Each structure stands twice: as C-alpha cells, then as structure tokens.
Amino acid sequence: MWGKPEDGHASDQTLKTTLLSEIAQLFAAYGVHPGASISIAESALVTEDNLAALRDTWFITRLPATSRECGRMSAEAGARNPWEEVGGLAQTPPTKYRPGTFSKMAEGSVAFSGQS
C-alpha cells in the first residue's frame, strides 16, 4: 500500500493521478515496467484529464455514480442479472438489530471520454 497525507482541501481527482505517478516511479526503480501492475483507486480517479495522463496505467475502480455510463451499466446489469456475490465485508457477526450486509458485483465494458 502506498499513500501519504495531503492537504484536506486538495482535489481528490488531481491527487489520484499524482499518487499513481509516484507509485509508477517507485515501481520503475525496482524494474517494474509500465503496464506490469494494477492499482486500485476510488472513483475520483475517473476524469478525462486523469485518463489521458495515466495512458497505459492499469487500474481497478468503480465508475463515478454521476456518470452516464454508471447508470447504463447498472440498468444493464439489473436487466441481465449477472450479479456475483462477493460476500459480507463486516468483521463482526450480524445481530438481531444489526443485520449483516452483503456485496454483489457485475462486470462490463464502458466508454468514458472516448476510451474503453
């Protein structure tokens, strides 16, 4: 894991690109070539400028809930019902008054800012 404290008023969208660039430089110092790793980031990473800056950097994220493609994918997944359970995320067992939550996921392809 890699991270560092930043200004609380700084834009998450800008910080994510900077952070991934720093990680790429650290990897390069150890001989890891671009495209040979996958980062996991929050949805603030998905902007037109960030996608252009990241070029061949692989990452996993969810789509920003405000994006048109997120709505399309949600509707498509709801219609096809391809959901796969990924389980509960809580470390404590559910109780009568606090039932557990379980997450599901669906995979698909989208175009965002002209990129697949």
Residuewise pLDDT in 10s, the chain (116 residues): 666 777 777 777 777 777 777 888 888 899 988 778 888 888 888 888 888 877 777 888 888 888 888 899 889 888 988 888 888 777 788 888 988 877 888 888 888 777 77
Amino acid at 71: G
Give a yes or no: residue 113 inside a domain: no
Neighbouring C-beta atoms of residue 92, cutoff 10 Å: 8
Tell me the DSSP string of 13-50: HHHHHHHHHHHHHHHHHTTPPTTS-EEE--GGG-SHHH
The length of the chain in residues reads 116
Give a yes or no: residue 55 inside a domain: yes
Amino acid 11: pLDDT: 77
70 and 64 in contact (C-beta within 8 Å)?
A: yes
Amino acid 2: pLDDT: 64
Amino acid 1: pLDDT: 63
Number of independent structural domains in the chain: 1
Instruction: Output the pTM of the full model.
Output: 0.61
Alpha-carbon radius of gyration of the chain: 17
Query: What is the span of the domain harbouring residue 28?
Result: 12-105
Give a yes or no: residue 116 inside a domain: no
In the structure encoding, which two tokens stand for residue 60, read together? 């996993």
Amino acid 78: pLDDT: 86
